[in-house]
Amino acid sequence: MMVNYYDTLTRALKRTPTEAEIGAMMKLKREQEGWKNSTQQTPPERPQKRSREPKQPTGVNTNDRQYRWPKRATQIAQRINRMMLRQITIENIAFIEDVSQSRIMQEIRHWDLPKVETDE
């Protein structure tokens, strides 16, 4: 390793390099290779944010059924639902959304579309 630095500097300077120049070259190469100084401290890691959970329901009328958390449909599922309520074909929906027809069918099966929109 030392010979490589010596040869490189000799060819670049066209003379014998000094010890200071060799030391500076070695230090530069170490920094380029990602070596860290022992005096340099790494910043402490921040804890990850927790994912947001839905609010606890208050005053839920269960009507003797077990309460289920509401699922919020994806944006594409909501758009597909609106288009299906307007009697647009699956081929046209796939073209408009720029996705495959199988993806549209997957969303329809997953969200049980079309659903009638309510004004609640």
Mean residue pLDDT of the chain comes to 78
Q: Is residue 98 part of a domain?
A: yes
Q: What pLDDT score was predicted for residue 16?
A: 85
Domain membership of residue 27 as a residue range: 2-32
For residues 56 and 19, the model is more confident at 19
**95 domain-assigned:** yes
What is the per-residue pLDDT for 57?
Answer: 64
Name the percent of the chain lying above pLDDT 70.
71
Between helix 75-85 and helix 90-97 the angle, nearest 10°, is 140
* Number of separate domains in the chain: 2
| SS3 sequence of 16-83 | CCCHHHHHHHHHHHHHHCCCCCCCCCCCCCCCCCCCCCCCCCCCCCCCCCCCCCCCCCCHHHHHHHHH
For residue 77, give the nearest of 115, 27, 47 by alpha carbon: 115
Flag whether 96 is in a domain: yes
Most confidently predicted of 27-36, 38-47, 50-59, 109-118: 109-118
- For the packed helices 101-111 and 90-97, what is the interaxial angle rounded to 10 degrees? 110
- Calculate mean pLDDT across residues 3-31: 81
The answer to whether residue 65 is domain-embedded is no
Which position has the higher pLDDT, 109 or 45? 109
